Structure 1
Amino acid sequence: MISVLMPVRNAAATLPAALHSLFCQTHPDFEIVLLDDGSDDGGATRGVIAAAAGCDSRVRPFFLPHRGIAATLAHGLGLCRGPYVARHDADDTCRADRLEKQAAYLENHPDIGLVSCLAAFGGDPERAAGYKNHLDWANSLTTPEAIALERFRESPLPHPTVMFRAGLVREHGGYADGPFPEDYELWLRWMEAGVRMAKVPEPLVTWNDPPDRLSRTDPRYDPARFHAVKAGYLARHLERTNPFHPVIEVLGAGRVTRRRAERLCDHGVVIGGWWDIDPRKVGKVVGGRPVRHRDELPPAGSRFLVSYVASRGAAQEIAAFVAARGYVPGRDYLPAA
């Protein structure tokens, strides 16, 4: 019923615990599609995989040349035999009822195409405060509406927490290999196609944070790549939902904000102006557009706002500010950073 899709590379130290957490699942009907992406650790990872396959027939090992995670995942999707596909990483573990609860959710909610869950943080919350803050934010998004609304800020779904219907791959395509985070691009593409996504509101997965995690070492996970890939999806969303299309106005006027927002212009969006609170910027013309003080923002209904202010706590403060002026998320403004 469930195909657990797990790519690994040089993971001999963490793979045993990841596999053990799967062997302990309360849902009995699953396979583990275990893909070795050309490990070069002297046969250590290959040995762990071979031992696991030898003691549990649910493990289906595949030893591939090194091509990277996106290509490995795309290959693995073609090997999955179940109607449900669950992602799992070699450095993460899951609760014994993870597969049971996520499969039950999909069975009971036919309108949902993908279900995630909450995740416990398995790293050092002080040394990795940025990752911990991101996970806290992702854990706050559990409903299809919240996930869809917030998807242009960051990826709302930690990759190893998801289970999805295999039919989505046939309908909308699977993982694409390009200069972008393959999971985030997939969520954006599927949500653009109308796929609804939700979460089981329980911490069914422990999301560990090793120093060699791809999101730390692979340039495809650089923040600039996130903004580059989402610009096209956000622009098309604005074309469908912005009553003033192609014109938007942007909350924030800092250099980073402007650089990120101006990516939309490559997709036909026109930025009419900036709104900020910095007295050094207010009243000036930056990039050919006026900077106005945020307190002068007129009531809702006269413009569409996109917020690109990314400082910690800014999203909540801005949401409260625009709400006080009658702006409704999704109708009058969108958070994008």
Structure 2
Amino acid sequence: MPRGMGVRDPRAGRERAGLGGRDPPGSARDVAPRHRRPVLRGGRGFAGDRPARGPSVRRPAGVTPRVSVLLPVRNAAETLGECLASLAAQTLADHEVVAVDDHSTDGSRALLEAASRGDARVRVMDNPGQGLVAALNASWKAARAPLLARMDADDVCHPERLRAQAIRLQEDADLSLLGTCVRLVGSTSGPNEGMRAYVRWLNGLLEHEAIVRDLFVESPLAHPTVMMRAALLVRLQGYRTFDGPEDYDLWLRAHAAGARFAKLPAVLLDWRDGPSRLSRTDPRYASARFRELKIRALEAGALAQRPAVVWGAGPVGKGWSRALSARGHRVAAFVEVHPRRVGQRIHGVPVVPVEGAVATPGALHLAAVGQPGAREEIRGHAARLGLRDGDDLIAVA
């Protein structure tokens, strides 16, 4: 299942370098067998807060669950059992799993049906269409709960995950989407450094302001960690079918609709990385598709009727300049700190030093350097020039 972007594969290019942060402690898989105390301190619990194990879990007819887990499945037989076991072990017993089989041919369907026979909370249905987006839309339309939790068939939940997220959403009525921190797991070769850097950055974005500040850098939420209000997904008319990343598109549309984001600081999901992930193999998750989405979202907001100033004349900045020009936007200047580049012209656009960045009144400044530390360095220069982060300056790499 995809997690967002091909950026996490080093083959996706230099645009994905330089994400900062710290590695998360612990592992959902390591903690799950023995940790039963609440991850979050305080707050109100639910009457059904206990592990629901065994082969005979049944829900009274007509009872609405508190949480519906959206689980698209396609040829995931090797990992599906562990995924389903982690859901069955949730301390929030009052949930359902809406599993949509996307035409599997490897025995995944048999595993789902066996799980459903043992636990009536597991509902199995066929994908009425083809592909991940069709499966996701079928799952949320069939879901019965007011809260929807995403899960992928190759990942593992900490047993407190659903309970912790449901409590936070219950206590904060203004919150729309809530993620968690993740721990990477993978093949014997291990996740690549680009993916590890991405996760360090991802796990450092916890509150709405930090998430929105970096929304145009990368996908700030790991899709299979998210719990959201069903009403929001209805309002947004679900996932959009198009030639691009469905999760990042949803976050951008949710932000435009005024949704508030947050992330629990606990590691509540083991997130599998491997060579077969769609973000490595499917062109919908290539960096160019993400950039196109970013530009379209900016056109509806900060970029509307404004020239652009691109900070960084390297490969990332040049890519942004070409993409902006192709959509009819005027790039007024590149801003560079390297003296050898200052004074050149790239794509017919002058390269200016930092002190010349504000020569174009009313411009939207785009921080487009993917090297470690560059984003914060640019933000520091921009602040000294009187540019407001989020209004006059937006980081896009």
Q: Same fold (TM over 0.5)?
A: yes
Task: Kindly state the Cα deviation for residue 328 of structure 1 after the two structures are TM-superposed.
Answer: 3.4
The CA RMSD measured in Å over matched residues stands at 2.2
Q: Quote the Cα distance in structure 2 between the aligned partners of 1:196 and 1:227.
A: 23
Task: Kindly state the Cα deviation for residue 126 of structure 1 after the two structures are TM-superposed.
Answer: 6.0
1:75 aligns with 2:135: no
Q: Per-residue CA shift, 1:179-220, capped at 9, x if unaligned?
A: 100000011011011111111111111111132111111111
Task: Kindly state the Cα deviation for residue 266 of structure 1 after the two structures are TM-superposed.
Answer: 5.1
> Cα–Cα, structure 1 residues 302 and 218, in superposed 2: closer, same or farther, change >3 Å?
closer
1:182 aligns with 2:246: yes
Q: Quote the Cα distance in structure 2 between the aligned partners of 1:300 and 1:116.
A: 39
Q: Which consecutive unaligned segments of at least 5 residues does structure 2 have? A: 1-65
1:144 aligns with 2:204: no
Amino acid at match of 1:155: S
Q: Which 4+ runs in 1 deviate beyond 6 A? A: 299-302
1:289 aligns with 2:349: yes
Amino acid at match of 2:146: P
Q: Quote the Cα distance in structure 1 between the aligned partners of 2:191 and 2:231.
A: 40
1:206 aligns with 2:243: no
Q: Quote the Cα distance in structure 2 between the aligned partners of 1:46 and 1:331.
A: 49
Which of residues 211, 217, 231 is equivalent to 1:167? 231
Task: Kindly state the Cα deviation for residue 271 of structure 1 after the two structures are TM-superposed.
Answer: 1.8
Q: Which residue of structure 2 aligns with residue 14 of structure 1?
A: 79
Q: Per-residue CA shift, 1:214-252, capped at 9, x if unaligned?
A: 111111111111111121102222147xxxx51221101
Q: Is the 1:15–1:91 contact (alpha carbons within 8 Å) kept by the matching residues of 2?
A: yes
Report SS of the residue matched to 1:238.
coil
Name which of structure 1's ranges 314-323 and 29-38 shifts more when overlaid on structure 2.
Answer: 314-323
Q: Which residue of structure 2 aligns with residue 48 of structure 1?
A: 111
Matches within 5 A, 1:307-326: 307-326=367-386
Task: Kindly state the Cα deviation for residue 268 of structure 1 after the two structures are TM-superposed.
Answer: 5.5
Identity value in percent:
39
Matches within 5 A, 1:213-252: 213-239=277-303, 245-252=305-312
Q: Is the 1:299–1:327 contact (alpha carbons within 8 Å) kept by the matching residues of 2?
A: no
> Cα–Cα, structure 1 residues 126 and 3, in superposed 2: closer, same or farther, change >3 Å?
closer
Report SS of the residue matched to 1:103.
helix
Report SS of the residue matched to 1:237.
coil
> Cα–Cα, structure 1 residues 2 and 179, in superposed 2: closer, same or farther, change >3 Å?
same
Amino acid at match of 1:281: R
Amino acid at match of 1:192: A
Q: Is the 2:86–2:157 contact (alpha carbons within 8 Å) kept by the matching residues of 1?
A: yes
Q: Quote the Cα distance in structure 1 between the aligned partners of 2:359 and 2:209.
A: 24
Q: Per-residue CA shift, 1:143-163, capped at 9, x if unaligned?
A: 111111111111101100100
Amino acid at match of 1:234: L
> Cα–Cα, structure 1 residues 324 and 121, in superposed 2: closer, same or farther, change >3 Å?
farther
Q: Which residue of structure 2 aligns with residue 330 of structure 1?
A: 390
Name which of structure 1's ranges 125-134 and 294-303 shifts more when overlaid on structure 2.
Answer: 294-303
Q: Is the 1:86–1:162 contact (alpha carbons within 8 Å) kept by the matching residues of 2?
A: yes
| Structure of higher RCO (CA pairs closer than 8 Å, 6+ residues apart) | 2
Q: Quote the Cα distance in structure 1 between the aligned partners of 2:237 and 2:376.
A: 34
> Cα–Cα, structure 1 residues 311 and 28, in superposed 2: closer, same or farther, change >3 Å?
same
Matches within 5 A, 1:127-138: 127-138=191-202
Aligned length: 331
Which of residues 251, 254, 257 is equivalent to 2:317? 257
Matches within 5 A, 1:21-32: 21-32=86-97
> Cα–Cα, structure 1 residues 325 and 246, in superposed 2: closer, same or farther, change >3 Å?
closer
Task: Kindly state the Cα deviation for residue 288 of structure 1 after the two structures are TM-superposed.
Answer: 2.3
Q: Is the 1:175–1:186 contact (alpha carbons within 8 Å) kept by the matching residues of 2?
A: yes
Q: Which residue of structure 1 aligns with residue 103 of structure 2?
A: 38
Name which of structure 1's ranges 82-91 and 70-79 shifts more when overlaid on structure 2.
Answer: 70-79
Q: Quote the Cα distance in structure 1 between the aligned partners of 2:232 and 2:307.
A: 33
Amino acid at match of 1:81: R
Task: Kindly state the Cα deviation for residue 296 of structure 1 after the two structures are TM-superposed.
Answer: 4.7
Matches within 5 A, 1:110-125: 110-123=173-186
Q: Which consecutive unaligned segments of at least 5 residues does structure 1 have? A: none
Report SS of the residue matched to 2:300.
helix
Q: Is the 2:97–2:121 contact (alpha carbons within 8 Å) kept by the matching residues of 1?
A: yes
Report SS of the residue matched to 2:352.
strand
Name which of structure 1's ranges 20-29 and 300-309 shifts more when overlaid on structure 2.
Answer: 300-309
> Cα–Cα, structure 1 residues 260 and 297, in superposed 2: closer, same or farther, change >3 Å?
closer
Q: Is the 2:202–2:221 contact (alpha carbons within 8 Å) kept by the matching residues of 1?
A: yes
Q: TM-score, normalised by structure 1?
A: 0.91
